[in-house]
């Protein structure tokens, strides 16, 4: 596929790497980049050869240093509302991917960049990365899901601090509060991200997709979430992968899942 603002590559092992490619602007998320990100995600979702996705940024400074501020100037309220809804829809499509999506955070993840990372299923960051939701410094609030995903990941207190002060936190604190799953040095970033994809891809694909679906219901009242989990559990039992997994376990063999 031919993109202007990102790079898209699928390697021989079935890992799709999406690289935000606006390094001169610290990979700021303009309208075109957000739209192309949605297209790339759809391509990965619909490609049976793709087992998982890694999202990262070009250059050594930034994963994505927020939305492109130049596009905000002169926005009318209705236009801004629609802008936020479009970004939310594309980030929701990342979160609802049935294949694992890993954010490989190679530098600044600020504003929309932090929101993009949170829409991914797991996050790996270099030890020099910084995270923040600085929108209040511009007279705005986070509009691509930050006010909703951040407290779900790090708790109300940590989220309120980040969203209300606009202050940045370093990778070490991000890991402590649960915003990041793993912190590595720069040389190990992509290997760590690939490690997550490969580990998940070795499991039953249908069960992985249903686990991701169940996780998205984690903010429901407990009784509803448990009902949803039980229904998905029942669906898993009807799959060929379940028969393969149980049979291989009982016979002390390695399962060969087919995603059915």
Which positions are annotated as active-site residues? 115, 135
- From residue 109, give the alpha-carbon distance in Å to each of 48, 61, 64, 195: 30, 10, 5, 21
The H or E element containing residue 9 is strand 6-10
Residue identified by tokens 């990941």 is 153
8 A C-beta contact, residue 21 and residue 6: yes
Give the β-pairing of 101-105 and 52-57.
parallel
Which DSSP symbol is given to 188?
Answer: G
Q: Six-digit token pair at 104?
A: 């490989």
Which segments of the chain does DSSP mark as H helices, in order? Answer: 31-46, 77-95, 112-119, 146-154, 156-165, 171-177, 189-201, 205-215, 222-237, 240-250
Structure tokens at 171: 């990778």
> In angstroms, how far is CA 142 from the centroid of its own chain?
17
Phi, psi of 51 (to 5 degrees): -95, -25
């Amino acid at each position: 596929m031919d993109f202007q603002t990102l790079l898209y590559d699928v390697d021989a092992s079935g890992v799709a790497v999406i690289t935000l490619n606006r390094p001169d602007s610290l990979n700021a998320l303009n309208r075109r980049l957000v739209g192309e990100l949605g297209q790339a995600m759809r391509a990965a979702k619909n490609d049976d050869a793709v087992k998982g996705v890694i999202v990262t940024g070009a250059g050594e400074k930034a994963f994505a240093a927020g939305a492109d501020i130049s596009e905000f100037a002169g926005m009318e309220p209705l236009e801004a509302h629609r802008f936020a809804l479009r970004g939310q829809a594309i980030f929701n499509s990342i979160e609802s991917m049935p294949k694992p999506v890993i954010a490989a955070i190679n530098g600044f993840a600020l504003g929309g960049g932090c929101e993009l990372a949170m829409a991914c299923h797991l996050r790996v960051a270099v030890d020099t990365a910084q995270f923040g939701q600085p929108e209040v410094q511009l007279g705005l609030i986070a509009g691509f899901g930050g006010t909703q995903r951040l407290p779900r990941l790090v708790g109300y207190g940590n989220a309120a601090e980040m969203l209300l002060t606009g202050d940045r936190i370093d990778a070490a604190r991000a890991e402590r509060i649960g915003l990041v799953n793993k912190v590595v040095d720069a040389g190990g970033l992509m290997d760590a991200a690939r490690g997550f994809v490969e580990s998940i891809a070795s499991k039953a694909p249908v069960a992985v997709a249903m686990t991701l679906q169940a996780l998205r219901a984690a903010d429901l009242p407990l009784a509803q979430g448990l009902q949803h989990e039980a229904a998905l559990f029942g669906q898993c039992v009807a799959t060929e992968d379940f028969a393969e997994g149980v049979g291989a376990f009982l016979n002390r063999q390695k399962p060969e899942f087919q995603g059915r």
